[in-house]
Amino acid sequence: PSMLDFVQQLPKAELHVHLEGTLEPEHIFSLAQRNGIELAYKTPEEVVAAYDFHDLPSFLAIYYAAMDVLRTEEDFYELAFHYFERAAAQNVVYVEPFFDPQAHTSRGVAFDTVINGIHRAQKDAAATLGVESNLILCFLRDLSAESAAEHLEMAVPHLDKLIGVGLDSDEKDNPPAKFAHVFARARDLGLKLTMHCDVNQKDILEHIGECLDLIKVDRIDHGINALEDDSLCTEIARRGLGLTVCPVSNRFVVQNLTAAEIRDMLARGMKATINSDDPAYFRAYMNENFMALVEEADFSKDEIRTLNRNAFEVSWMDEAKKADYL
Ligand code: HPA
Ligand code: ZN
């Protein structure tokens, strides 16, 4: 079979995808119409043409602006369910998606509206598409620690709907240490911990060090720059920490697929995984991320199998279910 057939048929897990980053241009239009919102663009094609990302802040500005069309529980249900449909079509059988509640409460959308819509889509996707998922609440690191703490308390009545917490948005001058108390509380609530250590950010090696020594994360999102410090690599490998790498996202943010870095991680025994990050914006879901590595760096079936197996291994899936995929 062709490499695309091989990638397609492999049952896959995705551990780094922002649900708001799955908002497709066509859906922006249908939601705007339903909610009576005027858009600055006339067609979905015009929206895509305006996607001009060259670093993290230029991406985030467009990502946050588009979310304004998400208003009702039904909107969040559709956002998540449409993503799960695309995942199912690519034989992605397990997902740990992120969502950004502060990007919605700041616009007057209630926390419960957001999480209830997403949760209902997760239940329907498991029942009708065979896609299982566990949700991760992400805090926006460019907002205050107090705001993160308030949102964690809003989540307490919904703990049964969450597997973990994460940290995303603009990393510059927003280190893990700023959120040490919030993440300690999340750990006490029984949640898993992960944080973005986005590629080539200011003070990135300090941020990765804080994730390991202060926050004691269960996983790292991106984490490419750990390769610059052998002691960080050794510790990540020793703990068996997963690294959720996003090749096509990296191509937009640092103009590089980071294929060599992914191979270096595997050679060092680090549990690298492949993910889409914001697939509607980067125009690449899971298959397209694997195929970019195949087409541009000649990744082999064995390498793809290893990366995909790592994803199931470092996932927070029920251990009994995990056995089916290992
Ligand atoms: N990094 C930081 N914040 C984000 C990202 C990302 O890759 N995607 C959505 N929010
Ligand atoms: Zn991300």
Report the distance separating Cα 307 and Cα 270, nearest Å. Answer: 10
Contacts of 141-144 with CB under 8 Å at 24 or more apart are 141/167, 141/168, 141/169, 141/170, 141/171, 141/174, 141/178, 141/179, 141/196, 142/169, 142/170, 142/174, 143/102, 143/169
Q: List the single range of 31-35, 75-79, 123-127, 251-255 with lowest mean pLDDT.
A: 251-255
Mean pLDDT, all residues of the chain: 97
Question: Can you give the pLDDT at residue 201?
Answer: 97
In ligand 1, the atom with minimum distance to the C-alpha of 171 is 2
27 is in an annotated binding site: no
- Choosing from 277, 281, 282, 289 the residue with most ligand 1 atoms within 8 A of its CB, the one to mutate for a pocket test is 277
Asked if residues 205 and 181 have their Cβ atoms less than 8 Å apart, the reply is no
pLDDT tens per residue, range 168-217: 999 999 999 999 999 999 999 999 999 999 999 999 999 999 999 999 99
Q: Is the pLDDT of residue 1 over 90?
A: no
196 labelled ligand-binding: yes
Q: In this structure, how many other beta carbons lie within 10 angstroms of the beta carbon of residue 281?
A: 25
Cβ burial of 62 (10 Å; 0-12, 13-18, 19+) is: middle
| Reported pTM | 0.98
Q: Which atom of ligand 1 is nearest to the CA of 249?
A: 7
Of 213, 239, 238, 211, nearest to 223 by C-alpha is 211
Share of the chain above pLDDT 90, in %: 98
Ligand 1: residue whose CA is nearest its atom 3: 169
Q: At 131, is the pLDDT very low, low, confident or very high (cuts 50, 70, 90)? A: very high
Residues in the ligand 1 pocket, defined by CB under 6 Å: 18, 21, 56, 63, 168-169, 196, 198, 249, 277-278
Question: What number does the ligand 1 atom closest to the CA of 20 have?
Answer: 9
Cα separation, 268 vs 266, in Å, equals: 5
Taking the domain 3-315, which CATH number applies? 3.20.20.140
Kindly report, residue by residue over 256-301, the tens digit of the pLDDT: 999 999 999 999 999 999 999 999 999 999 999 999 999 999 999 9
Q: Which ligand is nearest to the CA of 136?
A: 2
Mean pLDDT on 96-102: 99
H helices present in 134-258, as ranges: 145-155, 180-188, 204-210, 230-239, 247-254
Residue nearest to atom 10 of ligand 1 (CA): 169
Q: CB–CB of 235/255 below 8 Å?
A: no
For residue 272, report the phi and psi dihedrals to the nearest 5 degrees.
-75, 145
The stretches of 165-218 forming alpha helices (DSSP H) are: 180-188, 204-210
18 C-alpha to center of ligand 2: Å?
6
Distance 59 CA to ligand 1 centre (A): 8
Tell whether 277 is in a known binding site: yes
Two structure tokens written together for 18: 């922002």
Give the distance (Å) from ligand 2 centre to CA of residue 16: 6
Q: Which band of pLDDT confidence, cut at 50, 70 and 90, is reported for residue 237?
A: very high
**Least distant ligand from the CA of 199:** 1
From the CA of 16, give the closest atom in ligand 1: 7
Q: Is 54 helix (H, G, I), strand (E, B) or coil?
A: coil
Q: pLDDT tens, 30-77?
A: 999 999 999 999 999 999 999 988 899 999 999 999 999 999 999 999
ipTM: 0.96
Amino acid at 25: P
